[in-house]
Amino acid sequence: SGPTDSSGAAMVHVDLHSVTQPVGIMRIMAAILTCMCFILVATAGYVSSPYWAWCMFTWCFCFFFTLCILILEFTTLSTKVPFAWDDFTAAFAMLAGLLCLSASIIYPIFFTCSICHRAIGASVVSWVCFAVYAGEVVITRLRPSGQTSGFLSTLPGIMKMLETFFACLIFMSLETGQYSGSPGLQWCIAVYSLCFIFALLISLLTLGQLTLRFPFSFDKLVIVYNVLAAVMYTTAMVIWPLYSFRNNKRPSNCGSPCPWDKLLVVTFMTIFNAIVYMLDSIYSVRLVFCVSRE
């Protein structure tokens, strides 16, 4: 047990190994790099755009949680959390990598120019940050001791993260005027919203180990949801481009970011998410009905 004070209470001690091992060093690098991205873009000036806000949110989110992970591991408080810590950190590294990848693509496309030195610097640093998080994922996966086996580190968990990630990109690209007068597009918005909420809820219930408290098979409930979500997203994959681009060509003098381009982003993210939901449905059916019988 850890050291105790005169009253017999356990004292928190520090773990230097957590910040000197390769994963710890990469987390320190990621925290510094995301902070650099935020500062460079903030000093370059505010831009009224959801894409700019997404990039700033990405770097702030990754910096804050990376710093929290470093502090909790350094003070050994990570051993006292009520969930699988290795599962959480592995999942966060994957999510942070996805977020930084999206910011590294979005920011230079919309907000850099040949004389925008800070914006160019932020774009380069963001790509380096993505590489650091990707390296952490690789090291965590290849680590021989204590393999992660929690939900977020499994294929269903990764697909749930992808589903919520693509949904966030869809919400970021939506504008009220795009769908306010069309029942077909409003159906697509309902699909995006419902599937996002339930995917997030399933992830939180599983991560919090609350699925065993249900009076029925939670796995079979997830299968029903996955199949319904796949069907709903398939309808959105057809309806969204059909209603969005009908008699709607890209304007020649469209600004940056162009509202028409946002419709295109939503279309591709819908297709990607529909594919993920289909794969999730197939895998969950196979896992419950095929593997469980073997």
Q: What is the pLDDT of residues 90-102, one digit of tens each?
A: 888 988 999 999 9
pLDDT of residue 251: 76
Last residue of a domain, one of 93, 117, 147: 147
Pick 9 or 170 by higher pLDDT: 170
pTM above 0.85, yes or no: no
- pLDDT tens for 232-273 read 999 999 999 998 888 778 777 776 667 788 888 899 999 999
Same domain, 26 and 76: yes
Q: Is the pLDDT of residue 142 over 90?
A: no
Last residue of a domain, one of 147, 177, 212: 147
Q: Which residues on adjacent β-strands are paired with residue 4?
A: 10
Q: Which two tokens stand for residue 70?
A: 């470093």
Per-residue pLDDT, 148: 46
Output the average pLDDT for the chain: 84
Assigned domain for 19 exists? yes
Distance of CA 171 to CAs 50, 92, 285, Å?
Answer: 10, 21, 29
- Most confident of the following: 6-10, 15-19, 188-192: 188-192
Residue at a domain's end among 84, 112, 147: 147
Q: Per the domain annotation, does 134 fall within a domain?
A: yes
On whether residue 9 sits in a domain, the answer given is no
pLDDT score of 239? 93
**pLDDT classification of 292: cutoffs 50, 70, 90:** low
Asked whether residue 142 falls in the same domain as residue 188, the answer is no
Burial-class residue 293 by CB neighbours within 10 Å (0-12, 13-18, 19+).
exposed
Range of the domain at 218: 154-247+258-293
pLDDT digits (tens, 9 = 90+) for 16-70: 877 888 888 999 999 999 999 999 999 988 888 888 999 999 999 999 999 999 9
Q: Are residues 191 and 264 in the same domain?
A: yes
Q: Answer whether residue 42 is part of any domain.
A: yes
Q: How many domains does the chain have?
A: 2
